[in-house]
């Protein structure tokens, strides 16, 4: 079974703090993704990575950055947290295949509250 783990289930931070969210997968997947999940909006892609040290912007990258120094680990960074970044953050990974038939597997999520 694919296992995607996230460093925290719940996190409370203050406005302006730097926040690190960590994600680790144990299936040697090339692709990793960060989403945020908000009621009525579904999941929106923040950043993704195809390989170590590679990153691509998703649909809502503003206010976020990412780091992928090792294949199994993908970090999401909020440089200066703001209240509108209060959300559930989901990490996912997938195996690269030819033909694009890739299935994403999700971690349990980190619920972040920014005060």
Binding site for another protein (CB under 8 A): 31, 33, 35, 40-45, 48, 58, 90, 94, 96, 100-109
Q: How far is the CB of 45 from another protein (least distance, A)?
A: 6
Nearer to another protein, 35 or 85 (CB): 35
Nearer to another protein, 81 or 110 (CB): 110
Q: How far is the CB of 100 from another protein (least distance, A)?
A: 5
Nearer to another protein, 33 or 81 (CB): 33
Nearer to another protein, 43 or 77 (CB): 43
Measured between alpha carbons, how far is 71 from 32 in angstroms, rounded to an integer?
Answer: 9
Q: How far is the CB of 97 from another protein (least distance, A)?
A: 9
Measured between alpha carbons, how far is 33 from 45 in angstroms, rounded to an integer?
Answer: 7
Distances (CA, A) of 66 to 9, 12, 97: 19, 20, 23
CB 41 within 8 A of CB 24: no
Measured between alpha carbons, how far is 115 from 111 in angstroms, rounded to an integer?
Answer: 13
């Amino acid at each position: 079974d694919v296992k995607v783990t996230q460093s925290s289930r719940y996190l409370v931070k203050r406005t302006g703090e730097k926040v690190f969210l960590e994600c680790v997968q144990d299936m040697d997947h090339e692709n990793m993704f960060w989403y945020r999940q908000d009621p009525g909006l579904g999941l929106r892609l923040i950043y993704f990575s195809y390989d170590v040290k590679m990153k691509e912007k998703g649909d809502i990258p503003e206010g976020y950055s990412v780091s992928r120094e090792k294949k199994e680990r993908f970090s999401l960074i909020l440089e200066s947290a703001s209240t509108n970044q209060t959300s559930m953050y989901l990490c996912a990974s997938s195996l690269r295949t030819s033909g694009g038939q890739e299935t994403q597997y999700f971690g349990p999520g980190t619920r972040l509250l920014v005060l």
